[in-house]
Structure 1
């Protein structure tokens, strides 16, 4: 299990790099003298870069020896975060965000494939739960601690610390990760692309787009909601985001068990409760108990859907799991980018308090799509796949 645990630890740095900006948006906007929605576009830039280049980069780099590849990606993340820490404008910060966006889909797709191959496809959910533990830790510790650091020492300190952690973990992989060759003979790009002809594959990726669009329409601006609507200080925002991520440990466990039984039903159930948590957020904003319950439900289901969405697509295309994973990563990041864009537009037109309601609309649409996939016999996951 050591290789999976090392990859999980590396995944913490990789995913923290993508998502920690959620807690830094208010500070960056103030320091660089730009609006909150403009800083939110950095989330869109990162996500759409992943979506555009992810599948092709993954298909190309899948032929490389894994240890060297993973170490190179972590060093790349370290240098890009160092650039972000010294950025003097939104443009330079955008470049610093663009660079790691090229490495994230390669790492995430191939690390996922490695874990599933080690555990076996019948235990894909449990294997992915170990890998996605790094993601959950990114939300439990990475995003909240970066928010607390930003409040105490400025947002640049968060990028600087993450740069050091990324480089340190790259060195640890050099020391302790054994050489891991490609775990199967990689098929040609043309053969991998053939899975796009399967309606079920496209349907499952579209489902991920909708789910993540809903998530990040609201989650991108959660720190702003807590600061401006709930009246929390920067320190309380950090602790609130940590609690939000901590309950995600529950969702990660529940998702890992549920997805091996029936991926689509798991998606629908978690989406239903996610929409409920989002809808309840604003009416409960001034009630400590109500806000805690709404954020708790949201945090548990969001963490579960990270894992469920990923395994769901890998299981629908077992003949090309790494390419399927990269397609799903692209779909998720299209959703993330669109969500940040939609959320910023909602703030400009209808106000910050409307964001969670619009987000829940996307989630409810995802439930409807999942029901359609279940009703179409050709699109169902067969018992052999699930």
Structure 2
């Protein structure tokens, strides 16, 4: 049922706006609290780390409850987090408020995907997943740059969190008043879930997703700081670049969603290889120019679909426990986000923000190497149709 997928997508917009909305305002937050940019980056890496560590356990705990209730409670926590953040509390409390909804973020995503794909036939399941995860691209094209723009207009980073709170409230209302009740299906035992952790191919795919997300966020986590210091852009132009990045991400997500049904491994490898190559272009781009625009457009086109391709790739190795595999995919992905953000912060501290694309490229090479290794070993995803030897 497409209605469930589209409402799940709306909730995803609220989730992603909260998680990634700080990327465009990290420099302002750092200046407000008098901390280094890599310390402010903990607002992203800390959020991701909570998801990585708590996600699978929360998924097992919440799998027995009505899916509609789980989605609504998850977004309620995001709303509370936004309200606390608007009050500009001490930095430690801001960090704690950011971490609060992170406990249920993977539960929301896994539940929304399971609800959307559970009513679709096998051929359309990737399309339903693409609709839900399309919220990532839509958020990067609309709410993430808009919240950055509003913060610039009002000269207040707190205004960004007002936008985030409004979006979470809207999504919460739609879920509560529009979605039908979706009782949990027969509960699997913990052992039935954990059996996938004994499968080497699934574990390798998990490490691949970790490295891929680390590549994605080594530079992207400091997007605003990079554009400000390396290309010389101001806040207004940076929000425009976030918009361009998001527009191309939506286009890339659309293309990837269509390609996945035909070539899961091929699509994953193609977008990952492109993301790795673009790191070199970002490093050599220099001050703002037409080439900068082209690189940011290509970067966005290749970056956003990696959420979808990585998740589909990892889940395909565990068809017997898709919801738990979903939550593990989100956890390993966010562990990668945390690792990428922390690595980027370390590079900034030791060498400067202009060198973060090197970390992006190295993580990308590692992830691509694992995909090719699984192809060579014949450990192909369940729906693999390409790269045949």
- Which band: TM-score by shorter chain? over 0.9
What's the CA shift string for 1:299-320, capped at 9, x where partnerless?
1111111111111112211111
Supply the distance in 1 between the matched residues of 2:286 and 2:300 (Cα, whole angstroms): 16
SS at match of 1:83: helix
Superposition pairs of residues 92-131 of structure 1, within 5 angstroms: 92-131=93-132
Q: CA deviation at 1:383?
A: 4.4
Provide closer, same or farther for how the CA distance between residues 385 and 122 of structure 1 changes in structure 2, counting only shifts above 3 A. farther
Q: TM-score, normalised by structure 1?
A: 0.96
**Alignment map for 1:270-285 (pairs within 5 Å):** 270-285=271-286
Distance 1:29 1:118, change over 3 A: same
Partner residue, 1:324: 325
Contact 2:212 2:364 in 1 (8 A): yes
Deviation at 1:380, TM superposition (A): 1.3
Q: 2:178 aligns with which of 173, 176, 180?
A: 176
- Secondary structure, counterpart of 2:316 in structure 1: helix
Deviation at 1:230, TM superposition (A): 0.8
Which residue of structure 2 aligns with residue 31 of structure 1? Answer: 32
Query: Where in structure 2 are the equivalents of 1:66-215 lying within 5 Å?
Result: 66-153=67-154, 154-182=156-184, 184-215=185-216
Deviation at 1:384, TM superposition (A): 7.9
TM-superposed CA distance for 1:237, in Å, is 0.4
Larger CA deviation: 237-246 vs 86-95: 86-95
For 1:381, the equivalent position in structure 2 comes to 381
1:58 has 2:24 as partner: no
Instruction: Tell me by how many angstroms 1:348 deviates.
Output: 0.8
Pairs within 5 Å for 1:220-299:
220-286=221-287, 288-299=289-300
Superposed CA offset, 1:22-62 (max 9, x none): 11100100111111000012211111100001011011111
Report the CA distance shift for 1:385/1:77 in structure 2 as closer, same or farther (over 3 A): farther
CA contact under 8 A between 2:23 and 2:223: conserved in structure 1?
yes
Tell which deviates more after alignment, 345-354 or 85-94: 85-94
In 1, the alpha carbon distance for the partners of 2:193 and 2:385 equals 18
The 8 Å contact of residues 5 and 130 in structure 1, kept in 2 or not, is answered as yes
Q: CA deviation at 1:123?
A: 2.6
What displacement does 1:375 show? Answer: 1.1
SS in structure 1 of the partner of residue 119 of structure 2: helix
| Contact 1:315/1:385 (8 A) holds in 2 | no
The aligned residue for residue 365 of structure 1 is 366
Distance in structure 2 (CA, Å) of the matches to 1:63 and 1:120 = 24
SS for the counterpart of 1:186 is coil
Q: 3-state DSSP class of the match of 2:64?
A: coil
Indicate the larger mover: 303-312 or 330-339: 303-312
Give the count of matched residue pairs: 384
Partner of 2:342: 341
Distance (Å, rounded) in 2 between the aligned partners of 1:176 and 1:385? 38
Considering only aligned residues, what root-mean-square deviation do their CA atoms show, in Å?
1.5
User: 1:274: Cα distance to partner?
Assistant: 0.8
Q: Could you say if the C-alpha distance between residues 170 and 368 of structure 1 is closer, same or farther in structure 2, counting changes exceeding 3 Å?
A: same
Residues 150 and 196 of structure 1: is their aligned pair in 2 closer, same or farther, counting only changes over 3 Å?
A: same
**C-alpha displacement of 1:142:** 1.8
- 1:325 and 1:3 mapped to 2: Cα distance? 17
Question: Which runs of no fewer than 5 residues in structure 1 stay unpaired?
Answer: none
- Give the match's secondary structure for 1:247: helix
CA distance in 2 between counterparts of 1:131 and 1:383 reads 20
Distance 1:73 1:100 in 2: 7
Give the gaps of 5 or more residues in structure 2: none
| C-alpha separation in 2, matches of 1:131 and 1:63 | 22
Q: Judge conservation of contact 1:277–1:295 (CA < 8 Å) in 2.
A: no
SS in 2 for 1:316: coil
Q: What is the TM-score of this pair, normalised by structure 2? A: 0.95
